[in-house]
Homo-oligomer: A and B are copies of this chain.
Amino acid sequence: MQIAQVRGTVVSTHKEPSLRGAKLLLLQFIDADGRLLPEYEVAADWIGAGVDEWVLVSRGSAARQIEGNQSRPLDALVVGIIDTVSVDNRNLYSKREQDRSSFP
């Protein structure tokens, strides 16, 4: 999986019928030092990730391994909202601190 930040949404009304009801998020990838990369993915989200949150994204056939997705033409899925990322025993990211800094 890759670490990504929710940056926005993509809306498509004229689409494959099986994709109706799917919420599509624009996720921008984050490197192992916590910086935004130019790469992104538009991924389906059923767990309710919000803008600015860090998430884990699975790509390829993994995106169809959840109930109801098996025959949808999806190649990317938000599989979790990240609480913490620790690298070399220090905290690279903590959702709690992120939330706090949003309400100073």
Chain A contact residues, CB within 8 Å of chain B: 1-3, 7-16, 18-19, 24, 26, 28, 31-32, 38, 40-43, 47-48, 51, 56, 58-66, 71-77, 79-89, 92
Copies of this polypeptide in the complex: 5
Task: Find chain B residues with CB under 8 A from A71 CB.
Answer: 65
Given A26-B85, A60-B75, 9 more A-B residue pairs with CB atoms under 8 Å apart are: A10-B85, A13-B81, A19-B80, A26-B87, A32-B38, A58-B73, A61-B62, A62-B73, A62-B74
Q: Does the CB pair A80–B15 fall under 8 Å? A: yes
Give the contacting residue for A66; candidates B11, B18, B56; CB below 8 A: B18
Q: How far apart are A22's CB and chain B's nearest CB, in angstroms?
A: 9
